[in-house]
Amino acid sequence: MLQVEQVHQHYGSSHTLRGISLSVKKGECLSLLGRNGVGKTTLLKCLMGVLPLSQGSIELDGKNISKLSPHERAKLGIAYVPQGREIFARLTVEENLLMGMATLSSKKASTIKGEVYELFPVLKEMLQRRGGDLSGGQQQQLAIARALLAEPKLIILDEPTEGIQPSIIKDIGRLIRLLRERGDMGILLCEQYFDFARELADHFVILNRGEVVASGDQNLMDGDDVKRHLAV
């Protein structure tokens, strides 16, 4: 589904990404791991078109999307839940959810699917509350729900457990597992919380200084090589 080949990126004279290649298949979860500052979020922004590539290619379902705008990529089926959630604080929960369907046809975008309330029952109780009045965990659920309403082929989650209470982390883990088992989308999970990522991953990629330094199947994640690259 998603194929990333030899991606390079520069911030001015700083070479931030160095020849990164990875792939995400439908029905699978790829965990992107690494210490802070190694290029994980930069890579995700490149995948969404927020940052330009210096070199390399990004394909979705065989189509080269390397030069498309973020809106065009979203329309093709990539949904992004950014680090820090970035919901619309002054809009209501309902209005935030409706914004998630902006790339769909007007007929589809007029009604919020009931499935969202089954996955996130707390949101149904708070439809008329402003997004900024929700707790951090509730905002994270809102951000993920908004992304799912776009009916994505690929969902990208950047640090979904950051600053979230343990009970909500468990709920988010159950949701990701459900989406993976449902098999109709690929999941790219960027995560600092190793145990959380290990439980959900089919495959993993570790970055260090903008390069892939280790990768493999989930059963290799407990190896010493992986722990060496993630140890603080």
Query: How confident is the prediction for the chain on average, in pLDDT?
Result: 93
Select the more confidently predicted residue: 191 or 3.
Answer: 3
Q: Output the pLDDT for position 230.
A: 85
Each residue of 75-118: pLDDT tens digit? Answer: 999 999 998 888 999 999 999 999 999 888 877 777 888 899 99
Percent pLDDT > 90 in the chain is 81
Mean pLDDT check: name the lowest of 2-16, 136-150, 157-171, 216-230. Answer: 216-230
**For domain 24-51+70-230, which CATH number applies: 3.30.2090.10, 3.40.50.300, 1.20.1560.10, 3.50.50.60?**
3.40.50.300
Mean pLDDT value across residues 4-31 = 96
Predicted confidence (pLDDT) per residue in 65-77, tens digit: 999 999 999 999 9
Where do the domains of the chain lie? 24-51+70-230
Nearest to 81 by CA among 160, 2, 163: 160
pLDDT at 73: 96
The pLDDT value given to residue 205: 96
What span, in angstroms and rounded, lies between the C-alpha atoms of 85 and 136?
A: 9
Per-residue pLDDT, averaged over 181-207, amounts to: 94
pLDDT (tens digit, 9 = 90+) per residue, 29-55? Answer: 999 999 989 999 999 999 999 999 999
The answer to whether the CB of 173 falls within 8 A of the CB of 144 is no
- Here the tokens at position 179 are 């989406």
In this predicted structure, the answer to whether residue 199 has a pLDDT above a threshold of 90 is yes
Q: What is the pLDDT of residue 106?
A: 76
Q: What is the pLDDT of residue 196?
A: 94
**pLDDT score at 171:** 93
pLDDT score for 232? 60
Judging by DSSP bridges, how do beta strands 186-190 and 63-64 pair with one another? unpaired
Closest CA to 187 of 214, 218, 213: 218
Helix (H, G, I), strand (E, B) or coil at 204: strand
Q: Which strands sit side by side in the sheet containing 29-33, from one edge to the other? A: 78-81, 154-158, 186-190, 29-33, 203-208, 211-217
Res 201: pLDDT: 96
pLDDT at 2: 97
User: 3-class secondary structure for 6-66?
Assistant: EEEEEECCEEEEEEEEEEECCCCEEEEECCCCCCHHHHHHHHHCCCCCCEEEEEECCEECC
